[in-house]
Every structure is written in C-alpha cells, then in structure tokens.
A = this chain, B = another copy of it.
Amino acid sequence: MKDYSEYLALVREAISNLRLPEQPAGLYSPITYTLDCGGKRLRPVLTLAVCDAFGTDPMKAIHQAVAIEMFHNFTLLHDDVMDRADVRRGRPTVHRKWDERTAILSGDAMLTTAGMLLGIKAGDHLATALDLFNGTAMNIYEGQQYDMDFETRTDVTIEEYMEMIRLKTSVLLGCACAMGALMADADMETQLRFFDYGVNLGLAFQLQDDYLDTYGNPETFGKAIGGDILNDKKTWLLIMALSEDKTGTVRALLGSRENPQFKIDKVRSVYNELGLPERIHELISAYIDTAIKCLDHINLSPEARVFFMDLALRSASRDK
C-alpha cells in the first residue's frame, strides 16, 4: 500500500495528462477549469487504493478512477447551476464565469467523457463497470431530486434524509471502492463489501459536512459558517430540531433572512440545547464503525486494513 498522498499524485498526474481537444474552446475550457479545482480527490484515491489492496497495480484502475472523478465534477457543475451557486472552492462557478448554457453543455460533455474513460482498458470488466457506474449515476440524480424536493417541505423525516444523502453522496464513494475491487479482479462479494464500506464512509462524511457547516472553524472550513441555517437547508441538524424543538423557535425562523447572524446564533443555540452536536458525532462514529466492520469481512493485508481504517477515522474528525 502507498500513502494517500501517493495515490493522490497518481490521480493528479492522470488528470493533468488528459488530452481534451482545444476547439471549440467554449465547450472544453470550462471542463479543464472544473477539473483544475483541486480538492481531496477522495473518490479516485479510493479506487486506486482498493485496487492496490488486492495486490494489483493501482494504475490498472487509473482510467476508471479518473472517470469517477470526472463524473463527480460533472455533478458539482450541474448542481451549481441548479442551486444557483456563485462560488465553488473559492472560485466563480462555471455558469458565473461563463454562462448557464455553457455550464449545461460542458457538463453534458463531462458526463459522456466519464463514460468514455470508464471503458479504457476495462477489458472483460467493461459491462460490469458500466452497470455499476450507470446505476450509481441514476441514484445520484434521484438523490439530487429528493434534495430539491425537500426545499419546499418542512416534514422531511430523518429516514428520508438519510436515504437522500445515501443516494446523492454516499453511493459514489461505494462505487469508487467497488470499481477498484472490480479492476483488481476481486469477486462480487468483495466488491459489494467494499461498496458498503464506501457507502458508510460517505454517510459519515456527509454528516460531518452538515456539522462543519454550522460548527466548523471558518478559517479551516474555507467558507462562511451557517449557510445551511440561513438557507433552511434540510440537514440532519435542522430536521432533528424541527422534530424535537418544543419551543417552535427553529420553525418560526424558517424563511427568515432578515438578520442573518441572529438567525444563525438562535438556531445554533437550539441545536446546542437539544445536544445535537454530540448526537451527530455519535451517529458519525456509528457509521464509521459500520464501515470498519465491512473491512472485517474482506481478506486484506494488515497494512491495507490500517489504510482504510485510518481513512474512515480521519473522515469523521476532519475539520475541512
């Protein structure tokens, strides 16, 4: 096994070696811009690391890893149009820097390019890789649709929320892991177990994201704290508060944007009274435990086991 940073270096090099056509620039420049965003590259690193864990050269899965990263960036691009987001990782979003139709068309091209990359040197695994990838993509669209549906609802349950983040965020981490196992010729059961590892990791990851948006350190988190509260975003925290806050304070503040800092402080104080920061961390720990238990059923070297345990534990305690 290598370090995270070594897998990351392989991913970065593969992305920088992608040779997209130059013309028409209006189609391809936004793709390069989107891929240049940096980021943790968690998904392709998972693909390479899982492949490596079975003693297979991780470069055997490099095209599939980059395909998944390309797909992930496509979803961010189109989600930003749908959410009318102006900034992504400190830079203007594509539809702000160019325009909306450029963002739509370049996103479409990224989705097709992801499918092309997925097939490169996939060999006998092509059909399975495509089924895994396309099925995951459909789940992600469903998750995005539920997320949008939740905006106009105030009766979203925790079960509905967990299913939404499973679809929108977690299955892609599962897919990234299973793809690495597939490319390493691991059997179907092992692929499924690594899929489950990734899904549980993803659930923990998203809950930590919810937590950080309200409780993070603005300096390390990289964006303003409290955005979810201001936008009435149906996160685990808000849904719990809507269900448990007998004073009605949180519900009364839905829709209000008049005094942002007042709203953030007020809602956060209800979260604190209900013990939600502690309780979300208990939940995150439970998903991390479940992820680690998935590893027990996979035949892994001690070194590989430590790698994926560490990765899970770090996801739960990250501050950005």
Contacts and interface: CB of A to CB of B under 8 A. Distances in A.
Given A105-B148, A116-B135, 4 more contacts: A23-B142, A78-B108, A82-B105, A119-B134
A104 B82 contact: yes
Contact of A81 (B21, B24, B101, B127): B101
A130 interface: yes
B112 A119 contact: no
B81 A142 contact: no
Contacts of A116: 130-131, 134-135, 138
A24 B142 contact: yes
Given A115-B115, A116-B134, A108 B141 contact: yes
Nearest to A83: B101
A100 to B, nearest CB: 8
A111 interface: yes
A264 to B, nearest CB: 26
A13 interface: no
A183 B78 CA distance: 34
Nearest to A146: B24
Interface string A256-274: 0000000000000000000
Interface in A106-152: 107-109, 111-113, 115-116, 119, 126-127, 130-131, 134-135, 137-138, 141-142, 144-146, 148-149
Contact of A115 (B21, B26, B134): B134
A312 interface: no
A27 interface: yes
Nearest to A81: B104
Contacts of A109: 138, 141
Contacts of A127: 119, 126
A145 B27 CA distance: 6
B112 A24 contact: no
A250 B126 CA distance: 54
B130 A115 contact: yes
Contacts of A138: 109, 112-113, 116
14 contacts: A24-B145, A26-B145, A26-B148, A27-B141, A78-B108, A81-B104, A82-B104, A105-B141, A108-B108, A109-B141, A113-B138, A116-B131, A119-B130, A119-B131
A245 B137 CA distance: 51
A109 B136 CA distance: 11
Contacts of A111: 108, 111-112
A149 B112 CA distance: 21
A150 to B, nearest CB: 11
